[in-house]
Amino acid sequence: MRSHVTVSPDEVEITAIRAQGAGGQNVNKVSNAVHLRFDITASSLPADIRERLLQVGDQRISKDGVVIIKAQKFRSLEKNRTEALRRLEELINRVAAPPKARRATRPTRASVTRRLEGKARRASVKAGRGKVGE
């Protein structure tokens, strides 16, 4: 079961920036893209979620523990803001559930037999490749 964690809006810093790429004259004068910054260490997230979030190898998390998300998919500032917040919550909810502990298993007798038969077959093929003696 996945737990749903919400982020407090006052812990998120959202800045409007100019979007990159095509868009005509409008792209040069209107700041529609959103730059979201979220400090993991200073947040009110539970300690276990905070630790797992810092351990995730996501490129959006800096060495200082700050999540940086840039949203510029839409032409509307409000849509980009909600998209950035959605991506942040998706990142947090991905690590919210603790990982399942791995249970060690043993290979079946049939799989061991198949493996050993394959090894013996390869050994006989390779043995046949040697120099022919007198």
Tens of pLDDT, residue by residue over 74-94, are 888 899 999 999 999 888 888
Question: Which residues lie across from 14 on neighbouring strands?
Answer: 36
CB 43 within 8 A of CB 95: no
> DSSP strand E in 53-125: where?
66-71
Q: What is the phi/psi pair of residue 77, to 5°? A: -65, -40
Which of the four pLDDT bands, split at 50, 70 and 90, describes residue 49?
confident
Q: At the topology level of CATH, where does 9-96 sit?
A: Double Stranded RNA Binding Domain (3.30.160)
Cα 16 to Cα 70, 80, 101, 114: the distances in Å are 10, 9, 42, 62
| pTM, rounded to two decimals | 0.67
CA–CA gap between residue 51 and residue 3 (Å, rounded): 16
pLDDT reading at 101 higher than 80: yes
Question: Residue for token digits 């510029």?
Answer: 72
